[in-house]
A and B are shown apart, each in its own frame.
Chain A
């Protein structure tokens, strides 16, 4: 087994009287694609938000590369190499696709106010490097032709890809994807699976919250199933599909995992 990149120990998050995440242990191995699934309200997005520090942890600890990051701010985690996308797209709507992707590089670059005013050679060089790297990220997700388009004018599928480009432009160690296939059609979802695999090949580990079972079952190495905020099962896609508890949890809530899962296997 490869080393553990991200580790959650008895992680909990309480909203009033509700334990949205109830002492969950999670080990994400470097180089893997780790799926988080579960019925609606199972706590998947909450868990993702805890990893990204979008929400404070109520109890438990988070370790990234062996370091305790439980109290780190979202920006500090992003700088350390944990990047994310959002379930309901959060782009910079008035900026071009290229500028959106360039924001992802802010943490790795240096030139500040005085360099912007004096424009020494190193500032112009850095601007060229930022533009080139942002451009490569757009090419990687397939948006090279849209680089000068204002984000708000892009069609929905392209905006999803742009968010991914912004998150991977700095080659993060860990990428958290929150329902990247939501709202995509079958063709777009299939090409998303390909993109997720290519991101892993570049050396980024992924944690994926997803309802689209075709995507989850085809790309994930490990799947963790959550139910009522607790870890219900963990294993390979095949093990998860054959787990009676998982099937029961989904059937009990009238969800469509069995049908979709069966199709993925077929």
Chain B
């Protein structure tokens, strides 16, 4: 008999706990140092993108389903929240939750395609992304079409309107943190093990009695719900929505975040979001060449190995802790 109780999940390492606490504390304390409004706005966008990327990490990194259609759910969440607030005068918290639910409901359309895998699933989700973009662009009576959706109010909580950029930023960080810790719990659970098993060997998963289609669909719904929440935050952060915010290129960007951050790593998804949102801004000085440099950097990161930035960092951590 083994002495210690068997553990299904390795307890989180101390380094991981310390790092998470420090990063979170720094993010929360940041507005106190009085940074420029633009920096807070960019970091809010990083937090929003992190939320969407975390959802895709569950779908792709955990369950192994390659979706290039997450911008569709992001866009549906954004427009739903914007419309609820402008047309129905709904308070922000209700619009926020409903935006997630609307995106989640829409994702049920994906249930029939969960039987597809790899490139076939990728193209099907890409098609969905294009479809949703065209709907947003052409259904002018609802979305305002190419003119966009204007006059979306700032987020408000308990009757207080978050007028200061620092407050809106804290809201985005708080939602991102909640999504991060929620998905961390899912990762180390019966559900998390099951979707991991499906990714690693679907035949063996079926032979072990796992309801594969149900589990895969649940991943789509969770990823879409989370993307919808991100979309709602985006709508109330920029307060003007245009169809061009939700083209298939946005789906590709979300995919890049997950892949360069490190597949299967929640922390990697956040790092990837930060890189994809901030790097083009930092590269502004190289002017017209910035997307060229951005592309080259993406290729260089991928050459480091498939585990992305998160994998690279944990290698470094191991290297230094050994010395």
A interface residues with partner B (beta carbon < 8 Å): 52, 54, 73-75, 78-79, 83-84, 86, 90-95, 98-99, 102-104, 106-107, 109, 111-113, 115-117, 119, 123, 126-128, 130-132, 134-135, 139, 144, 147-148, 166-167, 170
Contacts and interface: CB of A to CB of B under 8 A. Distances in A.
Given A94-B200, A123-B189, 15 more contacts: A74-B206, A83-B208, A93-B200, A95-B200, A98-B7, A102-B193, A103-B205, A103-B208, A104-B209, A107-B209, A116-B186, A131-B7, A139-B2, A147-B2, A166-B208
B209 A54 contact: no
Nearest to A109: B190
Given A103-B205, A128-B5, A131-B6, A116 B194 contact: no
Candidate in B6, B10, B197, B203 with the most chain A CB atoms within 10 angstroms:
B6
Contacts of B207: 52, 54, 74-75, 78, 83-84, 86, 90
Given A116-B186, A144-B2, A75 B196 contact: no
Contact of B6 (A74, A98, A115): A98
Contacts of B189: 111, 115-116, 123, 127
Contacts of B171: none
A127 B209 contact: no
Interface residues of B, number: 32
Given A106-B210, A117-B182, A134-B8, A90 B203 contact: yes
A257 to B, nearest CB: 29
Contacts of A139: 1-2
B204 interface: yes
Contacts of A52: 207
Contacts of B200: 91-95
Nearest to A172: B209
Interface string B4-20: 01111010000000000
Nearest to B206: A74
B206 A73 contact: yes
B271 to A, nearest CB: 21
Contacts of B7: 98, 131, 148
Interface string B162-197: 000000000000000000001001100111111011
A241 to B, nearest CB: 32
B281 to A, nearest CB: 34
A90 B192 CA distance: 19
A13 to B, nearest CB: 17
Contacts of B10: 148
Contact of A126 (B2, B190, B192, B205): B190
A75 B6 contact: no
Nearest to A100: B197
20 contacts: A54-B207, A73-B206, A74-B207, A93-B200, A94-B196, A95-B196, A99-B8, A102-B8, A102-B193, A104-B209, A106-B190, A106-B193, A109-B190, A112-B190, A116-B192, A127-B189, A130-B8, A131-B5, A147-B2, A167-B208
Contacts of B185: 116-117, 119
A111 B194 CA distance: 12
Contacts of A116: 185-186, 189-192
A91 B196 contact: no
Contacts of B186: 113, 116-117
B218 interface: yes
A132 to B, nearest CB: 7
A78 to B, nearest CB: 3
Contacts of A111: 189-191
A113 B226 CA distance: 14
B191 A103 contact: no
A112 B217 CA distance: 14
Nearest to A151: B200
Contacts of B210: 75, 103, 106-107
Contacts of B48: none
A104 B207 CA distance: 9
Contacts of B151: none
A107 B218 contact: no
B201 A90 contact: yes
B206 A95 contact: no
B212 A75 contact: yes
B59 interface: no
A54 B208 CA distance: 12
Nearest to B186: A116
